[in-house]
Chains A and B, each alone.
Chain A
Amino acid sequence: MNSSVYAVSSASAKGVGRLLLFIALALVSMVFAISFGAAAISFQDVWSVLSPFSTQDIEPLKERIILELRAPRAVLAFLAGAGLSLAGAVLQTVTRNPLSDPYLFGISSGASFGAVLVIAAAGSFSIWGVNIGITAGAFVGSALSVLLVVSMVGNGAQIERMLLAGVAVSFMFGAATSLVLYLSDPLAASSLLFWTLGSFTRASWPNLILPALIIVACLVIFLAYSRSLRAVLAGDENARALGVSVGRLRMGMLLLSSLLTATLVANCGGIGFVGLMIPHIVRRLLAQKQENIFIYTALLGGVFMVWVDVLARTLSDNAELPIGVITAAIGSVFFLLVLYKKDSRKGYQ
């Protein structure tokens, strides 16, 4: 008996160690990411600005670049990665489909459509008006897509109907977005297209508050329900026999995922494949561990996105690459590898 108690506590000590490692990785990544960019700013510069212990003086412009441009951008990238990965992880769990993500449910395309419509209708005007309008547009769009999916599914919330409805809604809003782009004048259309490909250029501290609150709130809710969510993996009828109200849980999680996605689409445009890829990697890393995947999913997703943003800013001189292009390039290859391995190994591991 003693030995098993010992085993338990050493396992949880290992878990705490692993968690700290991931948090450290996230912090170090962000500090490093902040030292990349157009202006010549060294790692030491970043350290002396961010560390409360540093006494070294630094040019005010450099300090402002670090604090007002790069730091909020790194945080936004982290939040976007964390939020989209969480949305993907929770959708994959409630649908027991390892290939689910906000795109598959039409959430992303609904949010993109709403945002694009607002930008196109407004032309381009003062930054505050645009921000509020885009966020509202994205919310309305994603809510509309969820509403459509839900109304197709009915009370049962069966997975198959949900996925089919999601795909159809996704195509519908994709078509609507294309139509808006088609009807816009060329300059607006190409700028909108840039926007739908994702970017973190809008990062500023005030803009981070809402996404941060929503992501933290969702993470807490996912952790609260993690036991029920794990029971859903056993199948709907099994989960009901374990005392889980599957339909209600699935619907709630779908709504939360759409809230997460809409917030992030409104702030960063369309960024795909993160929600698909990161939960997979986390499950692979921690497959047999009796630990909650959501915290790790959020941390790893955030770290991944921070580095994707570094690539976006540094791959091309004087110009930025769209984030969505990089994530899609990495993600699609990953997707194919997963399918290939699944096929060759027969069955999910």
Chain B
Amino acid sequence: MRMRSVLSLLVLLCGVQSKVLMANGSDLAVPAQRIIALSPHSVELLFLLGVGDRIVATTEYADYPEQAKAIPRIGSHSSIQIERVLELDPDLIVVWESGNPAQDVQRMIDLGLNVHMSRTKVLLDIAGELETLGALVGKKEQGEALAKEFRQRFLGLSETYQNKAPVSFFYQLWQQPLRTIAAGSWINTVFKHCGGANIFDDASTDYPQVSIETVLIKAPQVIVVPSHHGADIGTDMWQAWPEIPAVKNEHILFFEGDLLHRFSYRVLDGMEQVCTAFDRIRNS
């Protein structure tokens, strides 16, 4: 069980491309009306496409937009109640390769359900996912328009900030034990394109456990602290180390974790906040 949650996490935060997997070659001409969306970000994307009211069930932590909280829950990252899925008689199930248990997904495919496997793994996959979902729910144009807008906004931010003087940063993913992200993590993309330089770019794993000492030596200009489902992560321990420029200059930034950790359209809002904050620090 533990292994699975680790695996699902590691994959969850990793990245590749999304592509549509039509399990039964189902009829694309008929837009899906009863959707089960098994990840928080697919719920967000479906609401964005204007078909949030067609979602009949979802999983834990699907909390955006506000209406999403009212949708019945039938599973989590670690399991899906297949019987409830059958009971709800969906015509489309949006699963997430990295966030749903593979055996449950396979079971749903074997049962002949119409399963769309989302494989978002890098930031720009979100655009592709918008197009695919749009086509599946009969909102092809909206999907394409949103995807285009997503890419443009992303490139706009990237062009403005990526090549500015790099700002070195430490991303405090978790406090106890102290964990961060490395170059392989898709979250890193946001920072890279804002002109940030991750002090753990060269770490051997994507989500390494690190020591305060290493952070001290790498002397980041900024410490980024994502909130975690509303709760703030402790940063008290940094106050003892004014040797770190980020601490000395009080450049400890707090961001909403859900903006940065989720493959939703809102990640651009998070990116915008990061870019502006970094730029302010860069110019200070």
Contacts and interface: CB of A to CB of B under 8 A. Distances in A.
A225 interface: no
B180 to A, nearest CB: 9
A55 to B, nearest CB: 24
B234 to A, nearest CB: 4
B204 A319 contact: yes
Contact of B178 (A125, A129, A130, A201): A201
B174 A319 contact: no
Interface string B164-188: 0000000001111111000000000
Interface in A9-66: 37-39, 61, 64-65
B261 interface: yes
Contacts of B158: none
A191 interface: yes
Given A185-B60, A195-B176, A39 B216 contact: yes
B174 to A, nearest CB: 4
A125 to B, nearest CB: 6
Most B CB contacts (10 A, CB to CB) among A38, A130, A181 go to: A38
B72 to A, nearest CB: 18
Contacts of B234: 124-127, 129-130
Given A187-B9, A189-B6, A193-B2, A318 B174 contact: no
Nearest to B78: A182
Contacts of A171: none
Nearest to A269: B177
Nearest to B174: A191
Contact of A181 (B5, B203, B236): B5
B228 interface: yes
Interface string A299-324: 00000000000000100111110100
B1 interface: yes
B239 to A, nearest CB: 10
Given A126-B234, A201-B177, A319-B204, A182 B5 contact: yes
Interface in A160-197: 178, 181-191, 193-195
B162 interface: no
A12 B230 CA distance: 63
B243 interface: yes
B174 A187 contact: yes
A199 B178 CA distance: 10
Contacts of B76: 183
Given A191-B179, A195-B177, A125 B231 contact: yes
B213 interface: yes
B283 interface: no
A317 B204 CA distance: 7
A126 B236 contact: yes
Contacts of A178: 1-2
Interface in B76-118: 76-78, 99
B177 A318 contact: no
B252 to A, nearest CB: 14
Nearest to A202: B176
B61 interface: yes
A291 interface: no
Contacts of A194: 177, 179, 209
Interface in B148-207: 173-179, 200, 202-205, 207
Contacts of B202: 317-318
A119 B231 CA distance: 12
A194 B213 CA distance: 19
Nearest to B201: A318
Given A185-B77, A189-B9, A190-B5, A38 B214 contact: yes
Contacts of A182: 1, 5, 78
B29 interface: no
A37 B208 contact: no
Interface string B1-19: 1100110111010000000
Interface string A258-293: 000000000000000000000000000000000000
A186 B12 contact: yes
Given A123-B231, A126-B236, A39 B177 contact: no
A68 interface: yes
A158 to B, nearest CB: 34
A250 interface: no
A34 to B, nearest CB: 11
Contacts of B51: none
Contact of A37 (B10, B12, B177, B213): B213
A93 to B, nearest CB: 33
Interface of B: 1-2, 5-6, 8-10, 12, 60-61, 76-78, 99, 173-179, 200, 202-205, 207-214, 216-217, 228-234, 236-237, 240-241, 243, 261
Given A201-B176, A201-B177, 6 more contacts: A124-B176, A128-B236, A182-B5, A185-B229, A191-B179, A319-B210
24 contacts: A38-B211, A38-B217, A39-B213, A61-B243, A64-B241, A69-B212, A70-B213, A119-B176, A123-B229, A124-B234, A178-B2, A181-B2, A185-B229, A187-B9, A190-B9, A191-B176, A191-B179, A194-B177, A202-B176, A316-B204, A317-B203, A317-B204, A319-B203, A319-B204
